[in-house]
Chain A
Amino acid sequence: MTTSVIHDATKQPEGRIENKNTTCYMCACRCGIRVTLRDNEVRYIQGNPDHPLNKGVICAKGASGIMKQYSPARLTKPLMRKPGSDRGDAEFEEISWDKAFGIMEERLAEIRATDPKKFTLITGRDQMQALTGMFAKNYGTPNYSAHGGFCSVNMAAGMIYSIGGSFWEFGGPDLERSKLFVMIGTAEDHHSNPMKIAISQFKRNGGRFISINPVRTGYSAIADEWVPIKPGTDNALILAIVRELIETGLYDRDFLQDYSNAGQLVNCDESSEEHGMFVRMQVDAELGCFDEQNQLWWDRHTNKAVRTHTKDADPFLLGEFTLDDGTPVKPSFQLLKESVEEYTPEWAEKVTGIPADTIRRLAHEMGIVARDEKIELPIAWTDTWGREHQSVTGNPVSFHAMRGLAAHSNGFQTIRGLSILMSILGTIDRPGGFRHKAPFPRPIPPCAKTPRGPEGVQPNTPLGGMPLGFPASPDDLFLNDDGSPVRLDKGFSWEYPLSAHGLMHNAITNAWRGDPYKIDTMMIFMANMAWNSSMNTAEVRNMLNDKDDNGEYKIPFLIVADAFHSETVAFADLVLPDTTYLERHDVMSMLDRPISEFDGPVDSVRVPVVPPKGDCKPFQEVLIELGSRLKLPAFTNEDGSRKFRNYPEFITNFETEPGSGIGFLAGWRGKGGEKFMKGEPNPNQWEMYEKNNCVYQYHLPASYQYMRNWNQGYLTWAQDHRLTRYDEPINIHIYSEVLQKFRLAAQGKRPGRQPPAHLRKRVEEHFNPLPFYSETLEGRLTDTQKYPLNALTQRPMAMYHSWDSQNAWLRQIHAHNYMHVHPSLGAKHGFADGDWIYVESMHGKVRCLARFSEAVEPGTVWTWNAIGKAKGAWNLSDDANESQQGFLLNHLIAEELPTNECGEHISNSDPVTGQAAWYDVRVRVYKAEDDADCTLPQFDSMKVLPGMSTRRKWLGYFAGKFDKKGAK
């Protein structure tokens, strides 16, 4: 280094300075950033003060983007596995893009012409599903799954099937107006900067913050009260609180009556085919995806059944009644009351470890703040029944949760429980409570559906439906005639009926086993399936490398697209080097997961601020090129010619159907950019985004900003702008008729599709139309005498998944992970703080370092997620802390449950949604022998690949002079 030390502490070094705005992608938060370049190298990345999401702030990851950009772990060349080498050996030779495309075109065209489901696309990134999902649909394969299936689909599905919206991109706590905020479980890495901004303002405004979590880290550190809880027991707590709120009358009766199905009468005649269904004025055939408003209330004034929302009617929410035809009925709120009867605080204390008095007090705090601290905003609005309201009221109690609740096999029902708790407190889309973000709320369930049978998959034909969807009844499952799954991951089958994001955590195992069938080609984008994105990691690595009796790989062809030297790259037959986020165009689209705010739709773009390194090509461009070569309809003109030159042109011109006016971006549509949401393509759309901080924001009129499930003005607006098909009210499903339809099928009471015999009990139990507590599936099948502890991961705020193991600055914050244990476990098992221990589950064991902590529930052990790496991966040296002292908990977690009454090879997942049950694992800990001086298991070192740069012995990053110096 020749950079001289300068005396004048205020003088900026020489160099040509440029500032460019784009969107961060150091995590999935998608903050606006301003990148300062000096002599074409990144000098500074700051939060864009004019961006609505992060308002100028940035996090540790975002501020370390420089070290991602110039990482020696970057891939720069398309690579082909050397003939004769084994997968995992990482023996590759460089090839041209043209050759890479040629190989893919030939192979994928052949599959498409014969049996398109033999091509599987797995994306670890679920914020460009609009493109990846559309590619899969156009290709015609049902085998498309996204990150959500192993991350938080329980959160999405549990809430969407209850209130028509969900946390993170689709809604969240209105902390600006809230007075009591309850966060349950780990939630640090989703919507992270906006949550940090909001929690801080909330606390400074005098709000009270309660954190319920087995571990006190992250945001929990600044909670006014920490309530430690045993993992996987959240619904026991939630339902005990619901019970206490109902017992004491601390629920918002008016809200429930008008805006939920609490007062609707349920058929209680057990002998009826309609048992457990709402009684309706007339039973229609298929209604589409909205609630026909023809259910009944029992009116208090006239003491008889009336159609819901009859003028001046006032329904009972509790009681039992008999219709004129003799049918016994109860309001669904009565059924809720009955179903939570057993969940007393004393019962919940034994399950959760939280004292009964604390549970009661939590309920009383929530109920009293909701009732007595009401907010009234002078905003007039009209509801869908034509009633005019002079104000919007809110009950200022809010919640946030993500993976902590979701990553359990009882997570769907837990999140149903949380949705109902939020609803009976009267907090849905109201100030100070939960608020939606466009394009939500959506009908319950949303309209998107997969095909229903194998006829939806045809050679050289797009898929006959969406690759992922939201079933409304057993008829919407995606099944062969014999009831077996059409999809490789068995999504939307009786095993996981509502698997709205697929089950990518089972795709490799299923493909390897050939159950339900063998495939040919698997394409993996940005998913580290040979490491932290898979359960049972060591075995999955073996499966990727396993051959049949003919010496052919059981998964014949693996394509991996990644920007970095991840563990999965070693197993690829073909490696496609992706760009970083600073090198590409990209969209945060209204068609999948935009960055909307509470007050209206927001979407944004990325634009390149530096040129791609080497031969890196954005995966977006790879899909456009492949789609064009394969002549997929979305990418091809009617005459068979190529429709789009490149990704930016595709984004500008694509419409969901000719003339629909709906495309990837909502802003500056119309020929001159004068329209939004809907309008013809605008050739200058990208430029307009660039000129406007790369973000488009629309502020709804105040009267459309609240109560959107029932706000006629908003719903009409949403329909006019094609956010939704219907402008019907979206009533909260306290009682889920959708779930009951599956249960009736399992009970043999419903005509049509029925589960196979071995799954009947499972479906009947878990498709309870009212939330219930049950021990996790893994917990039921574990000898908990032998494995008494729960093991969890938490998410460090400075590291997102595995993406930054190669980041020279961030790895100085988390270079390796410990197993955090309460000191009493050390005393009991004879180990000290800092000792090597074994953590063992019924599936395997890891050797790791213990760290004593008083901030953990003593029955729980935990570690940071995805800090441990395989030796040599990410271009770290073989002795790097990540592989020698770091470890993965994944080795203890199986992707399938032990064989049980539901059969063999059942996924270790939620039986409703297929959400990976990461947090269900039970373990024991004991002092490790002196059998190694590193963590175990270890794997053979991963080689450095052609095209990667050498890792320096030391760094002195100085923008403008760094890369010119070359490696040291």
Chain B
Amino acid sequence: MTQLALIIDLNVCVGCSACVTSCKEWNTSGPAGFMSDDNPYQKDPNGTFFNRVQTYEVGEFPKTETVHFPKSCLHCEEPPCVPVCPTGASYKREKDGIVLVDYDKCIGCKYCSWACPYGAREIDEHQKVMKKCTLCVDRIYDESLPEAERKPACVLACPTNARLFGDVHDPDSHVSNLIREEGGYPLMPEWGTQPSNHYLPRRKTRFTIHQDELVRVDNPLNKEQKQHHEPVTSPTLDDNSFI
């Protein structure tokens, strides 16, 4: 069974928010209709976004890490948002594991958003339906797009390629390899939701200096020694030998 998902590499995410607005621009004109923005030019602008980047500081100066953390629907294997839906609008596709909302059935009761431990759902106040990441289901199967572009908008946009897309059930897929080899982890697995999206942790490259690397025989300073010296004026054996 296919399970499509995003792998987010925190080792290269610089928190630029390209994924945030690319998602918005693609989806606001998509099959689900607009994604509204309240107070777009007033106090406290607040709109519907399927994907947001949160930034955290970890540790104390000077040992501080600044972590950029993009978050969207994790397309759980056991999505808690599905069973709580009173109308059956919230569902998980068998075909590819994408969790979707059927907007015709959604009554905007918000049960699903209360059930989601990740805060990944957003009610659209003007359409009165619950919305969330669809993994750009309207792109990834669209044969009118070049094959290389049949990917979620956030993945295409990401300048650091921190967002990778694929089938996490296929053990040979690039994303499965990354999860296995680079320490990919799900968010809050203790809740039994089995998120399909995974995160790759920060990795550090360090450099070890060996003392002998600082004292090499080919040290260029050696070349600066003068090769010719003036004759000495004090006595030498040259002047006093009786041979």
Are A and B co-members of a single complex?
yes
Q: Mark B221-242, 1 if CB is under 8 A from A, else 0.
A: 1111011100000000000000
A242 beta carbon closer than 8 Å to chain B: no
Question: CA–CA, A857 to B37, complex, Å?
Answer: 37
Question: CA–CA, A289 to B184, complex, Å?
Answer: 57
Least Cβ distance of B123 to chain A in Å? 13
The answer to whether A44 and B157 touch across the interface, beta carbons within 8 angstroms, is no
A-side interface mostly: loop
List, in ascending order, chain A residues with CB within 8 A of B153's CB: 44, 46
Among residues of B, the one whose C-beta sits closest to the C-beta of A808 is B40
B57 beta carbon closer than 8 Å to chain A: yes
Among residues of A, the one whose C-beta sits closest to the C-beta of B129 is A5
Q: Mark B204-231, 1 if CB is under 8 A from A, else 0.
A: 1111010001101001111110111000
Question: CA–CA, A685 to B41, complex, Å?
Answer: 41
Question: CA–CA, A877 to B221, complex, Å?
Answer: 67
The answer to whether A815 and B59 touch across the interface, beta carbons within 8 angstroms, is no
List, in ascending order, chain B residues with CB within 8 A of A797's CB: 14-17
The answer to whether B43 and A884 touch across the interface, beta carbons within 8 angstroms, is yes
List, in ascending order, chain A residues with CB within 8 A of B26's CB: 44
List, in ascending order, chain A residues with CB within 8 A of B67's CB: 221
A876 beta carbon closer than 8 Å to chain B: yes
The answer to whether B148 and A49 touch across the interface, beta carbons within 8 angstroms, is yes
Least Cβ distance of B185 to chain A in Å? 18
Question: CA–CA, A369 to B207, complex, Å?
Answer: 9
Q: Mark A660-704, 1 if CB is under 8 A from B, else 0.
A: 000000000000000000000000000000000000000000000
The answer to whether B40 and A856 touch across the interface, beta carbons within 8 angstroms, is no
The answer to whether A812 and B45 touch across the interface, beta carbons within 8 angstroms, is yes
Least Cβ distance of A601 to chain B in Å? 24
List, in ascending order, chain A residues with CB within 8 A of B39's CB: 953-954
A855 beta carbon closer than 8 Å to chain B: yes
Among residues of B, the one whose C-beta sits closest to the C-beta of A364 is B209
Interface residues on A, range: 35 or more
List, in ascending order, chain A residues with CB within 8 A of B64's CB: 216, 226, 854-855
The answer to whether B31 and A13 touch across the interface, beta carbons within 8 angstroms, is yes
Binds A, one of B72-80, B100-108, B112-120: B100-108
Among residues of B, the one whose C-beta sits closest to the C-beta of A56 is B156
List, in ascending order, chain A residues with CB within 8 A of B162's CB: 200
Which of these, B17, B38, B104, B205, contacts A224 with CB under 8 Å?
Answer: B205
The answer to whether A300 and B227 touch across the interface, beta carbons within 8 angstroms, is yes
A813 beta carbon closer than 8 Å to chain B: yes
B-side interface mostly: loop
B127 beta carbon closer than 8 Å to chain A: yes
Within 8 A of B (CB), among A1-59: 1, 3-13, 38, 43-47, 49, 54, 56-59
The answer to whether B34 and A957 touch across the interface, beta carbons within 8 angstroms, is yes
Q: Mark B129-145, 1 if CB is under 8 A from A, else 0.
A: 10000100110011000
Least Cβ distance of A572 to chain B in Å? 22
List, in ascending order, chain A residues with CB within 8 A of B222's CB: 249
Interface residues on B, range: 35 or more
The answer to whether A224 and B15 touch across the interface, beta carbons within 8 angstroms, is no
List, in ascending order, chain A residues with CB within 8 A of B32's CB: 5-6, 9
Question: CA–CA, A810 to B104, complex, Å?
Answer: 30
Within 8 A of A (CB), among B34-93: 34-47, 49, 57, 59-62, 64-68
Binds B, one of A201-209, A279-287, A413-421, A777-785: A201-209
List, in ascending order, chain A residues with CB within 8 A of B41's CB: 72-73, 806, 808, 875-877, 880, 951-952
A368 beta carbon closer than 8 Å to chain B: yes
Among residues of A, the one whose C-beta sits closest to the C-beta of B100 is A9
Least Cβ distance of A815 to chain B in Å? 6
Question: CA–CA, A44 to B24, complex, Å?
Answer: 10
A316 beta carbon closer than 8 Å to chain B: yes
Question: CA–CA, A200 to B41, complex, Å?
Answer: 35
List, in ascending order, chain A residues with CB within 8 A of B179's CB: none
Question: CA–CA, A401 to B173, complex, Å?
Answer: 38
Which of these, A58, A73, A196, A822, contacts B61 with CB under 8 Å?
Answer: A822
A64 beta carbon closer than 8 Å to chain B: yes
Among residues of B, the one whose C-beta sits closest to the C-beta of A62 is B18
Least Cβ distance of A26 to chain B in Å? 10
A5-B47 contact given A203-B11, A220-B66, CB 8 Å threshold: no
Question: CA–CA, A822 to B227, complex, Å?
Answer: 57
Which of these, B103, B209, B213, B220, contacts A253 with CB under 8 Å?
Answer: B220
A810-B205 contact given A253-B223, A854-B57, A955-B40, CB 8 Å threshold: no
B183 beta carbon closer than 8 Å to chain A: no
List, in ascending order, chain B residues with CB within 8 A of A855's CB: 57, 61, 64, 66
Question: CA–CA, A72 to B68, complex, Å?
Answer: 32
List, in ascending order, chain A residues with CB within 8 A of B156's CB: 46-47, 56-58
B194 beta carbon closer than 8 Å to chain A: no
List, in ascending order, chain B residues with CB within 8 A of A208's CB: 205-207
Least Cβ distance of B176 to chain A in Å? 18
B13 beta carbon closer than 8 Å to chain A: yes
> Can you name 5 extra interface pairs (CB under 8 A) apart from A368-B213, A953-B39?
A9-B137, A12-B138, A44-B26, A64-B21, A317-B220
Which of A's residues lie within 8 Å of B, judged by CB?
1, 3-13, 38, 43-47, 49, 54, 56-64, 66, 72-73, 180, 192-193, 196-197, 199-201, 203-204, 206-209, 216-222, 224, 226, 228, 248-253, 300-301, 303, 314, 316-319, 361, 364-365, 368-369, 372, 797-798, 806, 808-813, 815, 822, 853-858, 875-877, 879-881, 884, 951-960
Contacts A/B (CB < 8 Å), 10 sampled: A3-B34, A58-B18, A196-B160, A203-B12, A206-B205, A248-B214, A369-B207, A808-B47, A855-B61, A954-B40
Give the top 3 A-B pairs by smallest Cβ distance, nearest first: A253-B220, A956-B34, A200-B160
